[in-house]
Structure 1
Amino acid sequence: MRFPCRRSSRREPRRKAETMTTLPPTEVDPEGFGTDGDSGPEETRRGLDRVPASLSGRLDLTEVLSDVRRPSQAVVLRVKDREARHRDAAVPLVLKWYHRAFAPDPEARRVLTGDLGGHIVRVLEHGTADGHPYELLPSYGETTLAQYHARHPGALPTPLVHTVVAHLHEALAAAHDQDVVHRDVTPDNIVVRTQNEDRPDLVLIDFGAAVHTGRDEDSPRRRDWKGKPLYLAPEASTHRQTVTPAVDWWSVGMVVAELAGGRHPVDFRGDEEVLADIATHDPELPLVTDPRLLMLCHGLLTRAPEHRWGAEQVGRWLAGHSPAVAPRTSGAAPGEIPPRATAEPFAFLGRAVTGTEELARQFDLQWRAADDLLASRRGRERLVAWLGQFAGAPGRSPEDTDELDALRTRLDRPPDPPTTLRLLNWMGPRLPASWHGVPLDTLGIGELEQEAVRGDDRARELVAHLARHQLLPLLSARPGGEGLDEVQRRWQGYRESWRQATADLFVRGGPQERRSADRLLHRTGDLDARLLRLAREPERTSARLLRRTAWDRSRGDAPPHWYRALRADPDNPLRLLAASLLTGLARLEAERHQAELRDREVDRLFALETDARFDVLRRLDRAPTLGWALLGTTVATAPWTFVIGLSDLLGRAGQREVVLAWMLALPAAAAVFALELWIAVYIGPHTYHPARSLAGLVIRTGAGPARAARAHGRLGMTLAAAALAAGGTLGVWAVTRAPWAWPAGTVVALAAWTVRRWWAWRRRGRDARLARAAHRAGRGAAPGTAPPHRPARPARPGGTYPRRPGAPRPAAPTRRNG
């Protein structure tokens, strides 16, 4: 899992293998935030890993030095100034970008823009970028005093410690002369600019928590809690700090004691234990063996701020004098202070843990090992016995003691997750809100959602764990967990309302790929994580979803109607989330619809061109068509003269019938020619002959008996002979009895066939026109309209139905192929 799995409850700089931020992220908590359960302002800085937009045209990013997780932390970047306003363009600078609610003290920053000496950071430039304040500072190097000490473990040489004291004395004296109190003097905020063995060059940095106290020393200003507990003065460890220069000198004393003794004089590491120890005991300094350094530590680590050494006393000490040191709080000489009792250690994963907060942190980070321990009866008994020594401990209320007794009772059996979390809350109430090492503040939940969406199994398992056991309300009292109880209620409501919010998507219309849409909408692995982030930041997440689902009109297509319906209500975050999940499907559907529209337009243009060419061909082929019509009528009327003349010559028919035949022959011939020429023009070339022409009928009539005779041998010949005999008999009857029947019968038969041809061709033309109109207009659903119900299958040819996805597209109907 790639997202961070731990965060310290106190400010800690981001560490790297060999390089480290010159200016660690400053976390400030100005008056009005961080108290009474207020979770503070929302993060409104955009792009916490890049140069602000208003400065990007001038500053080039070279390295990100901060890991910002809360608005109270400053973004720290190493940059280069292309305009070289303060240094050469190739010289790196440090950009610190604060949230406007956590801006540094403007008076303190004004002082730092001046030249206070070579051992204190100078603000080269300050202003506002994208609505938030920023500072541009020199880059003094890559190594802090903490890193230097880690590379040179143990007690540092006395001359080197003297140099550290001298440089810090010069820096703090200059700052205090201008009424600026640093409030966060730690080895992490001291940069080793040059690393000579005897005389390193130090610079005091990170004045983000500094305060300008003014000239009224009798009424020191009180501000909210700042700094790292290991270096806080006793008067600064209360909820509301007393801000005087004395707090900085106590921090210097702790730094000196750590360097001279090889380790920090306070054995505890949990914030709660450290603060309690500093508030109730004088630091023990058995490892500081140099008498002069021991005197300095005693003077600086005097609990009463009015008797603590300051710039004057430290200056005299550096000059070789021995200023007076106030007596220790116990009244005994420093060497006679009896060692105080410490908690019995608890063995966990090979470590001896003495504080409840440190054990809570380890249980949270190493949660699998903690679960194994709590599942073991012997492990629970050992933990219950160890926790017993903290009943009634200083700083614990009677309610805390009752809670501890109840937890110890519950540990007679393996605890469920809520009980385990209550145990962690009791042991480490000041630890950041987290579960299984994963932060659950606003940024932590955002990273958890991103990992779950990427398919991280551990992230999805953790989200399912939180949902199943409803652990968020138990974390609401921890730092960074403010409002998690309300988040749990919103999250549960979202999860219960999800199916109802998306159910109408498939009632009418909806995505074409319904199975894919249903799978995307109900993929529980990452859906719960998305809903959790939405519950944590409903307004901000809704705004992001609204931006993410905005349709790109430059693509030239339109969103489907169901997608627009999902985005129609910007105040419904669940439908916006559904639109976000189905954005890819909507784009694919829009692309397909756009492709179909293009295909229809191509077909329409092709049909128009084909029809135009067909009209040209009809005009060119009209003469041959009329020629076939004349040939057919000539063949049909030519035998009339022979039959009537033969009947008159033989004298078998009456004179009246012969005269009538001659009188009918001329108008009958005219009618035959008129009917055939008209139908030839009506039907037109290419389709008139031979399928629908009189000449074709004559040819087919003559070819039929011949083919039958040849195909069936003697039987065929017999049938053909019989047909000829029948025809001959009919001809003889017409000659001898009624010669007028031939022209009259021809006209009647041709008229009936012409009507039939006309009706059939008229119906075919009408169906073809309907097919062309349907194809060109497109019967499919247009963008933004609900698709109609599928029509019943047409009973006659020429009807259209929806084409199956993936089936080949039919050719556009034309007048030629219709």
Structure 2
Amino acid sequence: MAGSGIGTGAQEAPPTVLDPGRQRPGEADVTEIDPDRPDWRPASATGLPPGLDSRFAVIRSLHRVGARAEVYLVKDRATDEERVLKLYDDARRSRIVQSFLQRKQSTHIVTVYEVGTEADRDYEIMEHLGGGTLLALSEAHPGGLDPARVTALVRQLGAALAAMHAAGLIHRDVKPSNIAVRTLEPFEVALFDFDISSHQPAPGLSQDRSGTVRYQPPEFLAGSWLSTACDWWALGLTVMELATGTRLLAGADDDAVRRHVAGGPLAVHRVVDDRLRLLCQGLLAQDHTARWGADQVDRWLAGESPPVPGPAPADPGRVAAQVPTAYRYLDTDYFNRDALALDLTRTWDTAAELLFRSGDPEPLARLRHWLGQYGPTAIPDPGDPREPVDVRLLRLVRAMDPSQPPIYRAVHIASTRLADLASQAADGVGIAPAIVRELWNHRLLPLLTTGVAADGLEGGAGLAELDAGWRAWYEWWPRAVRTVADDEARRILRGRDAEATGRTVALCLLAAAAGTDDARRADISADLRRRARSVRLPWFTELAQDPDRMWIALRLSRHAEQVAAERDEEEARERRHARWLLRNQRLREWSRRQNRPLALSWAVAGVFLMGLLCALTVSVSDIAGQVPGTTILRAWVATVFAVASTLGFESLLAWEIGGRFHPRYSMLGAGLILLGRAARTIAGRGIVLAVTAGVLAGAYLLTVYQPVTTPLVLGGTTIVWAVARYLSWRADAARERAAVERAARELGAGLGR
């Protein structure tokens, strides 16, 4: 992998260790980084983090093109020994790989003295090798290396790979520029650069396409199938290049290499030595299940001649019938529909684009015509154009080979794996929500039940029963929602948008898939109970403790945590306010008494406006002339009475409340607050305007025909409102006193401790 500094080609980086006068090696293959991996920052010129800078002095930077880390040749300040320091730009290195490198037994894997994290960046301290790389050695011998030296190389690298594979690790980037030469006499090499090495004890599909295309085997190039056989293929190609002195398709681009490797067995006739040619034939077998591995290589080293695999046979359990005419797909001729179906599955995105997304009907028509060689019933239906492309492709490959392992969109759909897929879908991770939605909407699980286990993949057993259970949970869900005690939680659960529905469907799948997995159910239940203890919400605790409704609790866990956080913040705010009230209790009482004159002025202002309104209404009635003069006189008397009564009540209220009378409890301030609350929304403003217009119209009619009633009603209403404001103040004051007492007790308890 580009990024290590232990002996490299010029295109990737200068060799980690160049003796004085050594010539820089030539061009090397740059490892491609999968687009889904995080971006990597270029090498920095700012130096090392402080913790490393205090221990090591930088001699020179060894950064290379395509590097995923900063690599330096450094000197240990304590011992004066030269080391290679590799400083990564993220903190997500494979801990399993790092642990293996530190405890590794093989002398043919680069020694890693130390791994750690400094300033949020992972680093490795490695040995400093002085012999360059095999790439440089190969370029110095254009006619090929001596067979004895290549055999020694195979013995050493075979031991290194066997040690890695025994630990469940795959190197994934074996190539000449990643093999360092320790010494030439005796000839000794060491494998390095484990940036994209992965822990994968069993073969399977890989979502990570990182690596050097030229050294990747056909099953990975075609379908991202990753196993230890990938490393043995890369070793075989390395041996062939070292033995012949030439690179595979030198100067060709990656696409050309892909087509060549997928097109059939590689020609090894240029390898002159018979034993090395036999080794290359075994290691470069197209069929990864028959490719040589550690056992065959050991036998070859012992002088035996293990059998060389022939053309790739049909997978176990598949129909091996061949047809006379080939179907060409990705520059490969297929005579067997099962093998074609398998490779369509392995190259899912490419197949979907070619057969359905491109808009060109010819490839699909040609495929259906080719399948007609198996008989009229073997021609699959073209599919419903309204269905998603991936669903149509699945129906096609299942029609071609129903025994294929259950794979959909490069994801293994097995009953034991659906719980993980459902959990990812519920959390909105990657393409999992889309896959679960399509499995549900198009009822795909029963379609996959005929799949048989192969190549470490499980079959489709139990998927039909799981689909029935999934739908039963979905029917149960609305009934369970009605039992949730919290109104806002029920509103969330009843959401009809695509995201809410998708999460519900995913959680129903999780409930069905985890139904037979007691350990997983126990883990989910324990996690929910822990969250319930943390949030302290009775309705959530009730859900979390119910074995059936815990899936609803899982859906509401984020909402519960948000509600709990808001509650805790409100409680903290109330505690801070209570402590403030405690500190300022005497000042507030003094302010209440001192500001009584100001409060009285606000009371008089409010009563004045009320009296002005009464006078206006009486004047309107007098101008209208609908009632006699004696009635108008009584109306003026009623106005004076209403104003005097209201003034008395407002004054008493202002005197009692004091400095806090305005704005919250005064006639003017409280009225404006009420109007403001009602008019916060557009709908509220409309209601306020309508009510105000109705009140004014009623007051006008009442004033014109019953002028005495208007001031009495207005005054009486104001007096009743004054009593309500007084009671509100008393309640607020009682709450404040309780808060002050609670703060005093808490303070006393704190001092007591």
TM-score of the alignment, normalized to the shorter chain, above 0.5: no
Considering only CA atoms, is the larger Rg found in Structure 1 or Structure 2? 1
Greater RCO between the two (CA within 8 Å, min separation 6)? 1
Q: TM-score when scaled to structure 1?
A: 0.41
Q: TM-score when scaled to structure 2?
A: 0.43
